[in-house]
Amino acid sequence: MKAKQILTYVTFLMVIGSFSGMWAQAKQDINILELDEKAPEEIKKTAEILDKFPPTLISELTNSIKERGYAGSISFCKTRAPQIAAEFSKTYNKKIYRVSDKNRNPNQKASEDEQKVIEFWLKRIKENQPIKTVYYKVGDKTKVMKPMRIPNEMCLSCHGDLNTISPEVKEVLKKEYPQDRATGYKINDLRGAVVAEF
């Protein structure tokens, strides 16, 4: 009888484990849709909001660099970039934030579903195909992701090849971001994404 009870218990655990695996797989699967004229109006409006984010950040960062230099602007960017995201979130009543597969800020590491989008874009880039804003559902949430690329030489001063980044900048990066992964980029490389979740 005891052996039969053990067998029943093991079988039960295997069934539960099977369902858990199916649930996890379902959770990971997302249907990535590219923004086009057929997209819902809410998605189009959200994409327009995301379009405003990079210019806002770059404009403020450019002014900071003029005043503080590159090394002096690392702390500014660390503080101000999340503030801009918070301001956008409050203004537009959506959670707006940045993510990357090579994050500098530990809080900006791409989630599993966001990483799938980044990999989708990287595959498109490798195939010499254009990349654009996408949207998808994850659970009961909708996410809209706009790709962010390295636009100019200014960005490479803190995100470029380590051999070309100045010693002063590297020293500050090491202090502010000891686990930094956001270097080694070239102009037009995919840096990550700005995301809206609602």
CA distances from 104 to 26, 36, 60, 83 (A): 30, 31, 19, 16
Q: Is 78 helix (H, G, I), strand (E, B) or coil?
A: helix
Q: What is the bridge-based pairing of β-strands 95-99 and 134-138? A: unpaired
Phi and psi at residue 97, to the nearest 5°:
-160, 170
pLDDT of the chain, 198 residues: tens digit per residue: 444 444 344 343 343 344 333 333 334 589 999 999 999 999 999 999 999 999 999 999 999 999 999 999 999 899 999 999 999 999 999 999 999 999 999 999 999 999 999 999 999 999 999 999 999 999 999 999 999 999 999 999 999 999 999 999 999 999 999 999 999 999 999 999 999 999
pLDDT for position 8: 42
Angstrom distance (rounded) from CA 149 to CA 92: 23
pLDDT for position 28: 54
pLDDT for position 29: 85
What is the 8-class DSSP label of residue 106? G
**Token representation of residue 5:** 């009870």
pLDDT for position 12: 39
What is the 8-class DSSP label of residue 140? T
pTM of the model: 0.81
